[in-house]
Structure 1
Amino acid sequence: MAVGLKEFDWTTTISTNLFMLKCVGLWPEAEFYKANIYTCYAIFNAIFIIGGHNLSQLILIYFVYSDLEALANTVFVLTTNIMAAAKMYFFVRNLKMIKQMLAVLSSPEFLPKSGAQLDLVQPSLSLWKLSYTVFSVIVAMNVFLWSIAPCFNEEQRFPFVAWYPFQTNSMLNYCIVYLYQVVCIWVITIANLNMDTMTMALMVYIGTQCDILCDNLKNLCGSSDYFNTQLINCVKHHKKIVNYAKESNNIFNMIILGQFATSTMVLALTMFQLSLVNPLSGIAAIHLNYILGITTEILLYCYYGNEVEVKSNRISYSIYKSDWYQQPVTIRRIILILCERCKRPIKITAINLFALSLSTFMTIIRSAYSYFALLYNVNNR
């Protein structure tokens, strides 16, 4: 069975994710961009689609900054879009490293060693696929509602308020701007969603490696020499998992920090926007779905970060299910050292300011509500 598992491919799980990244210009065939048509396409997306859309909304802030309601209406979507652009920058900057991280998963140490281990990791991979599908449906529904937002509000001519250096009263200009905004928000959203889920996928891979290591430790047995050899392999595996988690964290920690900081503000601004409209209107439905999408995004980040910590905590307990008590003192000392090292769980953090966990999720939600209450009170004075 172990020989048959040598062809197991972890990236099969994220094949749709990689395809969508390729569609928006973020996943070239080579390790990095080369002088070809795909690179030109990626540059066009970065400058004219993402940059142009964000710039048109940024300029509008100059004209509405004194009106709190109008400013909130501009900023609460713009913040997410600017964060998406920042994510793309860090993603592209670390693209070579990300591809190398995925390639490392094919190394013998990271592959399942038996059918039982394959069955052990499948629930985590299936859960990620389910999370990806549910999150994609929520986000797609949100973007669709934004695209048809003018149908719910006669005073809203376009899906997003923005400034353009030409008149949009003529039918031709109106159609061009409308189509441009719809294309922009779909491209930005697809990129944003798939970068987020790529980060979560790496967390899932770290968690599944912890599962495999736990299974290997539980099944340590046999003669002292054989036990010692397998134990040393487990120690090496653990070291590689820790290094893999560290490298993953180094790649995405700025993205995570920015995401959590902006999500708190965006949630507050969206709840404030929701308080200003008829709760039974179509605009209210758009805001509610947007809140659901942002909350789901934060929850998935925190859940999968929490899973990494929980699974890494199990490593030190797994070895006690092996035949360690039948081994000589020298081997028990190695076990003791491994257990002491495993008392420091693997954590996914935002530049070591805070760890991704369910408690962090609750903190963000409480903070967002506090900011919303402040905005609501200021506006009512």
Structure 2
Amino acid sequence: MEKFDWLSTIKTNIWLLHIVGLWPKDNQTYKCNYYTLYALSSGICFTVGHNLLQTINLFYIYNNLEVLTASIFVSLTQFIGIFKSLFIVKNIKTLKDLMDSLKSDTFQPKNRRQRELAQISLDGWQTMFHFFCGVGGFTVLILSVFPFLDQSFKQYRLPFLVWYPYDTNISPFYEITYLYQALCCYFISVVNMMTDTLIAALNMYIGAQCDILCDTIRHINGPDKELDVMWLNCIIHHRKILRFADCSQQYFNWIVLLQFAASVVSIGLSMFQLTVVVPFTSVFYTFCSYVVAIALETFIYCWYGNQVELKSSEIMYATFESNWVDAPIDIKKKIQFFSLRCQKPIKMSSLKIFYLTLETFMKILQTSWSYFALLHQVNSKK
């Protein structure tokens, strides 16, 4: 049977990461070559430089609550892009090893039924990827062309409040700066969205492997010698799933923690902005699209993490559904040992502080609402 290509669905993701300098070709890592030079220069120019200038501008507007919140809610998301880039560069070898491990015989579907199970997971991720990129791309487009929507470009308004060491109200400095901000916005958005969907893909692979393992366990049958080998293979498969999950979690531990913190603040600030702008204007719809994009970004983490927990918890039930009643004593001991190891489902987390579950997603929304309520109360007292 032809090998199942686990990476076929995420080729666009990998290609876009390569474009922004975060994925060297093939199995290569960062070396002293032109690609590393490109990754370093583009990261400094479009990610670090833009965020640094935005941070400087905050010191000029800190005493204006409305303007400050309007600037911070975008700055936070873009600032997280720096850390996501750094963690990918730092863990690029680990990530590529994880991708290579998917090609091993242990992780391959054993029959057509298992291939269909795996394809369902891949198709679900691809649907999510297209939807998320559509929402995110639309939000970035709205942010980058905002001055044209409300005609403020005539007053030399830029898409983002950023400090520059020159006068941007003079042509051609305005046009050049506008183009630079738009390029930075798209560059950082690609970094953020591709990192988010890559983490979702890793969790999707873990869940798909749990589906395959459950199917294998439920259909174990044959002579005693074959049963012994089959259960041994299942134990090995489960160990490799746990190792894959552990390596994946080590990579995105800090990314998830920072993203959750940024999401809480960004959603709260965006909701506050909706209360101080004129309803049903271009500004209003810009904030609406941003809230949806950030909420969806957080939901993706929690959804796929939650799927890992649910699917891994099915392994123990699949063990009881297997044909173990008539098995020899020595095989029953292996089954008992295996079932004990499967009692605790795989829980994806961020430094064991936040678990990637739908319950966590609801808590994030609740916390964001608390920040919004606080800001609204402070602003109403003025």
Q: Which amino acid aligns with 1:14?
A: I
TM-score (norm 2): 0.97
Root-mean-square deviation over aligned CA pairs: 1.1
State how far apart, in whole Å, the 2-side matches of 1:83 and 1:318 are: 40
State how far apart, in whole Å, the 2-side matches of 1:95 and 1:314 are: 32
Structure 1 residue 146 corresponds to structure 2 residue 143:
yes
Structure 1 residue 116 corresponds to structure 2 residue 109:
no
Gaps of 5+ in 1: none
Correspondence for 1:172: 172
Gaps of 5+ in 2: none
State how far apart, in whole Å, the 2-side matches of 1:322 and 1:171 are: 74
Q: Which amino acid aligns with 1:42?
A: A
Q: Which amino acid aligns with 1:22?
A: H
State how far apart, in whole Å, the 2-side matches of 1:156 and 1:83 are: 28
Structure 1 residue 128 corresponds to structure 2 residue 125:
yes
Q: Which amino acid aligns with 1:65?
A: Y
State how far apart, in whole Å, the 2-side matches of 1:372 and 1:156 are: 31
Q: Which amino acid aligns with 2:262?
A: T
Correspondence for 2:15: 19
Correspondence for 2:88: 91
Report the alpha carbon displacement of residue 369 of structure 1 after superposing the two structures with TM.
Answer: 0.5
CA shift digits 1:253-309 (9 cap, x unpaired)? 110111111100110011111111111100111100000101111111111000000
Conserved? CA contact 2:156–2:169, under 8 Å: no
> Which 4+ stretches in 1 moved above 3 angstroms?
none
State how far apart, in whole Å, the 1-side matches of 2:122 and 2:81 are: 25
State how far apart, in whole Å, the 2-side matches of 1:243 and 1:94 are: 16
After TM superposition, the structure 1 = structure 2 runs for residues 187-202 of structure 1, keeping only pairs within 5 Å, are 187-202=187-202
Correspondence for 1:330: 330
Correspondence for 1:28: 24
Correspondence for 1:57: 54
Structure 1 residue 242 corresponds to structure 2 residue 242:
yes
After TM superposition, the structure 1 = structure 2 runs for residues 154-165 of structure 1, keeping only pairs within 5 Å, are 154=152, 157-165=157-165
State how far apart, in whole Å, the 1-side matches of 2:233 and 2:38 are: 45
Report the alpha carbon displacement of residue 225 of structure 1 after superposing the two structures with TM.
Answer: 1.5
Q: Which amino acid aligns with 1:92?
A: V
State how far apart, in whole Å, the 1-side matches of 2:121 and 2:187 are: 29
State how far apart, in whole Å, the 1-side matches of 2:45 and 2:190 are: 16
Conserved? CA contact 1:149–1:156, under 8 Å: no
State how far apart, in whole Å, the 1-side matches of 2:34 and 2:6 are: 29
State how far apart, in whole Å, the 2-side matches of 1:149 and 1:323 are: 63
Correspondence for 2:76: 79
Report the alpha carbon displacement of residue 156 of structure 1 after superposing the two structures with TM.
Answer: 7.3
Q: Which amino acid aligns with 1:52?
A: G
Conserved? CA contact 1:268–1:371, under 8 Å: yes
State how far apart, in whole Å, the 2-side matches of 1:220 and 1:264 are: 46
CA shift digits 1:40-79 (9 cap, x unpaired)? 2111111111111101110001111111112111111100
- Aligned to 2:8, the other structure's residue is in SS state helix
Conserved? CA contact 2:13–2:198, under 8 Å: yes
Correspondence for 1:370: 370
State how far apart, in whole Å, the 1-side matches of 2:213 and 2:174 are: 59
Q: Which amino acid aligns with 1:202?
A: L
State how far apart, in whole Å, the 1-side matches of 2:83 and 2:156 are: 28
> What is the aligned length?
377
Conserved? CA contact 1:242–1:346, under 8 Å: yes
Q: Which amino acid aligns with 2:120?
A: P
Conserved? CA contact 1:273–1:287, under 8 Å: yes
Report the alpha carbon displacement of residue 321 of structure 1 after superposing the two structures with TM.
Answer: 2.3
State how far apart, in whole Å, the 2-side matches of 1:370 and 1:103 are: 44
Conserved? CA contact 1:217–1:318, under 8 Å: yes
State how far apart, in whole Å, the 2-side matches of 1:48 and 1:316 are: 51
Conserved? CA contact 2:144–2:182, under 8 Å: yes
